[in-house]
Structure 1
Amino acid sequence: MEEFTKESVRKLVSAFVREYAGNHGDEALWREPLVGFAAAGSPYIRNLPEIVTPDHRLPEDFLPGAEAVISYFIPFTEALGHTNRSECPGAGEPGPGQSDDEPYASRAWADAYAETNRMMEALDEMLVSRLRDAGYHGAVPHDIGLDPKTIMSPWSQRHIAYAAGLGTFGLNNLLITEQGCCGRFHSVVTDAPFPEDPVLTEERCLFRRNGSCGVCAKRCFSGALTTAGFDRKRCYKVTVRNAARYGADKDVCGKCNVDLPCSYGIPR
């Protein structure tokens, strides 16, 4: 039976992303991934229906007997982030409640979103297969898209990543990891008894620490994100507009995600 440790999982994820990028010509998209581990029974995960949304699912909903959740972060490169920094004036028909001169996401950003989804799907399949080889079970959370009424997911990848010790939340509602907040999270539930990583307690968001930043809110042209709060329905309208332009699998924006003090590392 193959030995399966936290370190071996981290090496598997790193090697897979590197190989996938090389095989698909995506070397310009991703930096070194991060992997964290949360206990399925951790108090934070058990409280996610109260913290996030009442219908938030628990690990055993996907895998009876779940012991842990493997959470990983795929950080985007600075070069990719830079493409989405400019205010890319739109062209064509405006979206709901928007004028035609409001910025779209860059095409490179939209394409990277869809390609990262494809890569993570393959990565999840590999992890489940390797868990099986080691004598365990793994399951990928399914049917977890946004509820069109609440604009919330019943499986928050960011909150799971927080439980796995990968970072702390910023003003932009994204998790600030060692590699910053510019990237994507995904997870696999398993009955392998991986020791959990500690939840981080030191605040990484400069605005939440001492009010000294707030750049992400200034970048949000739609007004969905402000220092006073977040309007998820207004944000969602922007992603719908980008999907109408680039394709249904590219419902993105990301203006509050790129070229910030916390985009590519921990802000100092």
Structure 2
Amino acid sequence: MNLQKEIIRVTSEYFEDNIDWLKLSNASKEYKNILEELCGQNMDNEEGRSDIGFENGKALGAFWAALCLDDLVRTRQFIRGINEAIKEKINVKKPLHILYAGTGPFATLILPFILRYSKLDIKYTFLEINPLSFKIVQDVISKLGLDEYDITFAKKDATKYQIDSKNEPDIIISETMQNALAKEQQVPIFLNLMRQVNNETIFIPEKIELFIGLKKAGSPMDVPQANQYREAEMVFEVSKESMFPSETSKTQITKEVSFKKSKL
């Protein structure tokens, strides 16, 4: 089996404009099976399930990070967003530089693009702090025969990572958004990286908003759904628009960022 071609085939479903839920589900299962086969390692153990705690959040254990692929809609949205960002940039600059903060064990969101673009078109920086995920993602890239691609692996904390000013990324991706941002490090990761780039850099996701939601009267309590709540107050927004003053090309983020307290 040619695994490169198989990954291109199964991930094609993410690029379809219309969602066929059965096809999307089957494609995601196939994609996950291929990645687990490439991994060849059991992550369902103490080492694989162990999260790493930091002062501003946690890095998921490799086992949990691998499960992110099971969220069909989120995976599809991220891949389609990355696709649009690459198409916007690829004809303006080559090679593009994509920084992926928090790759997990499989670099799930970027593999479809490494296999679809020439190694001369895009270079990559993979940030991953979890030692097991870091080891596995390097093995996966090697087993796919991608050693000659320009991929820099960095076992670094993305909330403190320092970008080389001579090698700024054009696109920055981070999908560290578990539990409504309460525990994972999406916000501190983006705040750190936004401080260091210009306003031409594309972030995926482009905007992070957190709202306090009030439950609508009469909504069932057993299985909460988003449509059962109304947005009462925005807690904070993290985006280029909120971080970049319109008249500057660099972010003007103070060393400490605070968010207003809600009276609700």
TM band (smaller chain): 0.3 to 0.5
TM-score by length of 1: 0.34
Q: Tell me which protein shows more strand as a share of its residues.
A: 2
- Greater relative CO (CA pairs within 8 A, separation 6+): 1
